[in-house]
Amino acid sequence: MSETTLEIKDLHVEIEDNEILKGVNLTIKSGEFHAVMGPNGTGKSTLASAVMGHPSFEITQGSITLNGEDVLEMEVDERARAGLFLAMQYPSEISGVTTSDFLRSSINARREEEDGIPLMQFIKTMDGALDELEIDQNMAQRYLNEGFSGGEKKRNEILQLKMLQPEIAILDEIDSGLDIDALRVVSDSINGVREETGLGCLIITHYQRLLNYITPDFVHVMMQGRIVKSGGPELAKQLEAEGYEWIKEELGIEDETVGQKA
Partner 1 sequence: MTVKTQFPYDKEYVTTFSEKNNEPSWMKSLRLRAFDLAHDLNMPEPDKTNIRRWNFTNFELGAEGSTISSLQELPEQLTDFVDQENVPANIQIQQNGTISFSALSEDLKEKGVIFTDIFTAMQEHSDIVEKYFMTDGVSIDEHRLTALHAAYLNGGVFVYVPKGVKVEEPIQAIFWQEDNTSALFNHVLIVAEKDSELTFVENYVSHNTEEETVSNVVAEVFAHDDAKVSYGSVDNFAAGTTSYINRRGVADERATIDWALGQMNDGNTVSENVTHLVGQFSVTNARSVTAGRGKQSQNFTSVTHHHGKDSDGQILQRGVLRDKTTSIFNAIGKIEHGATRANAEQESRVLMLSGDARGDANPILLIDEDDVTAGHAASVGRVDEFQMYYLQSRGITKDEAERLIILGFLEPVVNELPIASIQKQLRTLIERKIY
The binding site for partner 1 (CB under 8 A) comprises: 52-55, 75-77, 79-81, 85-86, 88, 91-92, 94-97, 101-102, 105-106, 109-110, 143, 160, 164
Whether 103 and 163 have beta carbons less than 8 Å apart is answered as yes
Name the minimum Å distance from CB 187 to partner 1: 22
144 CB-side CA count, 13 A: 20
**Cβ closer to partner 1: 85 or 244?**
85
Q: Are 206 and 174 in contact (CB under 8 A)?
A: no
By C-beta, is 55 or 118 nearer to partner 1?
Answer: 55
Least distance to partner 1, CB of residue 128, Å:
19
**CA-to-CA distance for 161 and 167, rounded, in angstroms?**
10
Q: 143 or 207: whose CB is closer to partner 1?
A: 143
Q: In angstroms, what is the minimal distance from the CB of 161 to partner 1?
A: 10
Kindly give, in sequence order, each residue whose CB lies less than 8 Å from that of residue 35, ignoring residues fewer than 6 positions away. Answer: 202, 203, 204, 205, 211, 216, 218, 219, 220, 236
List the one residue out of 10, 167, 14 whose CA is nearest residue 86. 167
* Alpha-carbon distances of 34 from 124, 143, 221, rounded to whole Å: 32, 33, 11
Contact present, 219 and 37 (Cβ < 8 Å)? yes
Q: CB of 194: closest distance to partner 1 in angstroms? A: 20
Residue 43 half-sphere exposure, CB side, CA atoms within 13 Å?
Answer: 29
Q: Report DSSP state, residue 36.
A: E
Q: Which is nearer to partner 1, 21 or 86 (CB)?
A: 86
Which of residues 163 and 210 has its CB atom nearest to partner 1 in the complex? 163
Shortest distance, position 49 Cβ to partner 1, whole Å: 9
Q: Which is nearer to partner 1, 76 or 251 (CB)?
A: 76
Report, in Å, the least distance between residue 84 CB and partner 1: 8
Three-state SS at 208:
coil
